[in-house]
Amino acid sequence: MKNSKTDFEKSDLKIKKAFSAATPDVLGSILSDCESQKEKVIYMNQSKHVNKFVKMAASIAAAVVIVLAGTASYFVYSANYKVSSTISLDVNPSIEITVNSKEKVLKVLPLNADAEKVVGDMDFSGSDLDITVNALIGSMLRNGYLNELSNSILISVDTKNETEGAELREKLTAEINAILSSDTFDGAVITQNITSDKQLQTLADTYGITPGKAQLVSQIVSSNELYSFEELSKLSINELNLLSATGTLADSSDNIDSTGKASTKAYIGEDKALETALNHANVDKASALQIKTELDFEDGTMVYEVEFKYNGYEYDYEINATTGDIIKSGKEYDDDYNYNGNTTKPGNTNSGNSNTTNNYITQDTAKATALNHAGVKESDVLFVKNEFDYDDGRAVYDIDFKYGGYEYDYEIDASTGAIIKSEKEFDDDYRPTGSASGNSGNSTSGNTVSGNSGSANNYISQDSAKANALNHAGVKESDVQFVKNEFDRDDGKAVYEIEFKHGAYEYEYEIDALTGEVIKSEKDIDD
């Protein structure tokens, strides 16, 4: 059997043929001329035409040789050394493979510590892509990165030829599935096309992952604002695959294909998570309604979110997917539950009627309950809110009012009249009443008050607070320059803030508006 000619031999023949075609055979013509010109004097200058022609022919031939040699070299280089496609493999190890048009490996680049362990000292330069992939997947299996607990792998193909890219994805999917199925578990293979740009490459470089994984993480983050790129970049492909309700990411993008199902064997499972939540709530599974259980990622942890309804309540749980520990549990009224057989609003029931049709107490009764609990009179308060509403499915009256520098917030059960919630806090908008003071012109304008005792609000006067500050500093009012003198709140406490200058010093005081006590005093050199 004859050996087939190499590319280089073929190229040499082409060059020889081109050289022959470009150089005319003038020997016969020259001999014929010599015969006819016997005994004639031939002047040497007549040979210039021939010499010129020969030189021209030789130059053309040389140029053709150079062009053909260059063309042949280009095709040889393109076929053997030019990057045609970039393939990345992601499990938790992230590996990047560049190949030529013949699917010969040019370079294998490990992008993180796990990948370096997988690649080891193996040199894949010049190897077939399928052989390289087989070796890398085998190493991942041996090192425990691919197993029955974590069976997902991401294949990303970056190539200018879409048809070749699709064929390459299909080919690699089949090869990897064949490898994994021959082991003790089935794999879940995700494939995608990518077009690496500057932004994507920056993300990949920053987090030590492939552009393929960076693209996948970006797609997941864009679909859920609760996720962060930094957190998800640390997850394995199996964990990313599990973030979808179906166990695959095929539905998140038209660019993604997926085969197999991501493994959940590392976790307690949905049934166990639901059982844990029901036991904690002391609810029988047969009695629970609208049960929903799904795997999610919260605060760096894979969790099962469990939700169900029972007897007028909604239950919400987060269960650690690995340990089964309860991370969060919540219980609130079900907005859709029919309390007392009737959820009809009574409307603006401001009269004293009992409103027995709906079994609700009146608005006036609810208001009186709140005022009695606060120990204040209706004539002394400023009502901010007084209305019927639903809170977590329960019919209530929301009653808010202000009195004596405080805000009161009540929720009264519209069915029973019981106080569900009562809050009392300082009114941030409150200022002691009185006419503006006109002391010495040194105090600041605005929230200044007179020397009234302010007894109606149990506050000392601004003048009294000022006097306390001056006495504490041991200086006279006539000797100081006031910078600030106003009523304010600090961490909810009513205070007077007083600042003044004396000599080379600046004084700053906070005086308790109720007791007159010096809360804070500072003395600094006046810059």
The region of weakest confidence among 99-108, 148-157, 218-227 is: 218-227
pLDDT digits (tens, 9 = 90+) for 504-513: 899 999 998 8
* Residues paired with residue 298 on neighbouring β-strands, in sequence order: 301
Average pLDDT rounded to a whole number, residues 317-328: 93
Between 280 and 246, the more confident residue is 280
Q: What is the pLDDT of residue 195?
A: 80
Give the mean pLDDT of the chain: 78
Q: Give the confidence band of 321 by pLDDT, cuts at 50, 70, 90.
A: very high
pLDDT for residue 14: 45
- 408 touches 400 (CB < 8 A): yes
pLDDT of residue 490: 74
pLDDT at 320 exceeding the cut of 70: yes
Q: What is the pLDDT of residue 249?
A: 54
- What residues form DSSP beta bridges with 482? 500
Q: How many CA atoms lie within 13 A of 256 on its CB side?
A: 21
Q: How far apart are CA 88 and CA 168, in angstroms?
A: 12
Q: What's the pLDDT at 474?
A: 93
Highest-scoring range by mean pLDDT, 18-22, 260-264, 368-372: 368-372
Does residue 339 register a pLDDT over 80? no
> CA 82, CA 161: separation in Å to the nearest integer?
14
Cα angle 332-336-341, degrees, rounded to a multiple of 5 = 105
159, pLDDT greater than 70: yes
Q: How confident is the model at residue 429 (pLDDT cuts 50, 70, 90)?
A: confident
Determine the Cα–Cα distance for residues 102 and 35; give it in Å rounded to an integer.
Answer: 59
Q: Tell me, what's the pLDDT at 244?
A: 66
Could you say which of 3.10.450.40, 3.40.50.300, 3.40.50.970, 3.40.50.1950 is the CATH number of the domain covering 340-426? 3.10.450.40
* E-only strand ranges, 80-201: 85-90, 94-99, 105-110, 152-159, 188-193
User: Rounded to 5 degrees, what are φ and ψ at 71?
Assistant: -60, -45
Predicted local distance difference test score (pLDDT) of residue 238:
92
What is the distance between the alpha carbons of residues 354 and 358, in angstroms, rounded to a whole number?
Answer: 9
Q: What is the pLDDT of residues 209-222, one digit of tens each?
A: 889 999 999 888 88
Q: What is the pLDDT of residue 359?
A: 79
- Would you tell me which CATH number, out of the four given (3.40.50.720, 3.40.50.2300, 3.10.450.40, 3.40.50.10140), belongs to the domain 455-525? 3.10.450.40
Q: How confident is the model at residue 35, as a pLDDT? A: 56
The residue among 319, 267, 311 whose CA lies nearest residue 293 is 319
Higher pLDDT, 482 or 78: 482
Look at strands 394-403 and 406-413 and give their pairing.
Answer: antiparallel
* Per-residue pLDDT, 63: 64
Q: pLDDT exceeding 90 applies to what percent of the chain?
A: 37
Residue 253 or residue 401, greater confidence: 401
Reported as a single tens digit per residue, the pLDDT across 51-85 is 665 566 667 766 655 656 555 555 555 557 788 89
CATH of domain 270-333: 3.10.450.40
Q: Mind listing the pLDDT tens digit for each residue in 268-300?
A: 999 999 999 999 999 999 999 999 999 998 888
pLDDT above 90 for 11: no
Helix (H/G/I), strand (E/B), else coil: 222: helix
Of residues 62 and 469, more confidently modeled: 469
The per-residue pLDDT for 67 is 57
Task: Find the distance separating the first CA and the last CA of the chain, reported in whole Å.
Answer: 102
| More confident: 10 or 330 | 330
Neighbouring-strand partners of residue 317: 306, 329
Say what the pTM is: 0.51
pLDDT above 70 coverage of the chain, percent: 73
What 8-state DSSP symbol labels residue 147? Answer: B
What's the Rg (C-alpha) of the chain?
Answer: 44
DSSP 340: G
Q: What are the residue ranges spanned by the domains of the chain?
A: 7-80, 85-259, 270-333, 340-426, 455-525
Residue 374: partners with Cβ closer than 8 Å, 6 or more residues away: 403, 408, 422, 424
